[in-house]
Structure 1
Amino acid sequence: MSTLEISGLHVSVEVEDGSKEILRGVDLTVRSGETHAIMGPNGSGKSTLAYSLAGHPRYRVTSGSVTLDGEDVLAMSVDERARAGLFLAMQYPVEVPGVTVSNFLRTAKTAIDGQSPKLRTWVKDVKGAMANLRMDPEFAERNVNEGFSGGEKKRHEILQMELLRPKIAILDETDSGLDVDALRIVSEGVNRVKATSDVGLLLITHYTRILRYITPDFVHVFVDGRIAEEGGPELADRLEDEGYDRFLTPA
């Protein structure tokens, strides 16, 4: 069992006219086996939370703490966070020219586990995971995200999660840009990982459509850099019906 504990987290970024505070005191605990949906309007700080947890250098933590199984996440480098069990599926995955998907995946697995996976078992695992995600076997020899469609990029993110088996996975708007079929396949992949591991999920999304496939245990409404309301799956349904107007202060 693993626990990600976020307490009083304040995060700022540098903008043209100085420092701007984005997160204004976030408290959140994610445990193994739990699925937490973070919902909110554009600019509310959802992606800032994701990238701050992953260690993106643009985001500066000004106060608060983040621990994973009691260990100080904020004191870790990006690679140390990955080895500790944190995983981020990015909203906008970057291209890595010259590095094939197969080499990238095996290198990542080796770095996280501290040893190379047995080749025969690894090849079988990769092929099986790709088949489950309806990915052509030739995909493994393409350069990472180079020329990928939006759906291919998101499937590749879930492929990584399925093979790397993190303790806590942060999915930053994995549903964005996906058609109905791709959304269903990606969601099935997430549910497959949940069914075969104790991964804790932090699922960031604008819309409830992915929550029709991945049922959250908890829903948190993010507004102006903090959690404005919390509840169960029924809160997502209410947001679908009412939107976020009741949380927003008129200008």
Structure 2
Amino acid sequence: MKFRFLYIIIFLISFSIYSQKDSLNIDDYYADDQLYLSVHYSQLSEQPSAVSKSNFSYSLSTGFIKDIILNKEGTFSFAAGIGYGYDYFSHELKVDEFNNETSFSTASDITNNKFKVHNLEFPLEVRWRTSTAKEYSFWRIYTGVKFLYNLSNKFDYTSSNASEISYKNVSSFNNLQYGLTFSAGYDEFNINVFYGLTPIFKNASINEEAINTKVLKFGLIFYLL
């Protein structure tokens, strides 16, 4: 099913880029519709006390954003988009699923403990930039919120007897998440931060302590016409 979403995104990106070519008229309103690509170094924040920070983890995403101009100069706008995101986390929380119930623990004898997530993304942004209808290289500051709808999640680890354990679409995973976003930079190259506001698990605990783990991402985002 996630590939169907990718086809829809590709179609919308192509339509957006084609439409934008006719909208960039000098001394007129213009849209800064864009394809975006991002790569992030990711961490799990607000981990329970029994769990340390995640190991090397990363995230990738792509999609497009449609511009709605708020002033004639085109320096302020509102933007809404759709995209696809992939997250890979190496972590220390042991996740097991039995009879549609998720349990959490820690174990020093497991290795290759990781989980992978495929999300549909819905970014909403308020934008400021120094662009004009004929100037494509400019400074920008974009901030907003991004909603994530989970398409699939998979948790894997290797047990002490070298058996590979895998669980897909665990029941405690929070399928709808959101967080704050901030981007700033010049031309295509921009720093980007995502600060998750919702826990990745719902109604989850370990040793009677609530698991409020959230996602934090630092990286680069590229905006392409």
Query: Quick check: TM above 0.5?
Result: no
Greater RCO (Cα-Cα under 8 Å, separation 6 or more) = 1
Which is richer in helix?
1
Q: Under TM normalisation by the shorter chain, which class is it?
A: under 0.3
Which is richer in strand?
2
Per the normalisation by structure 2, the TM-score is: 0.22
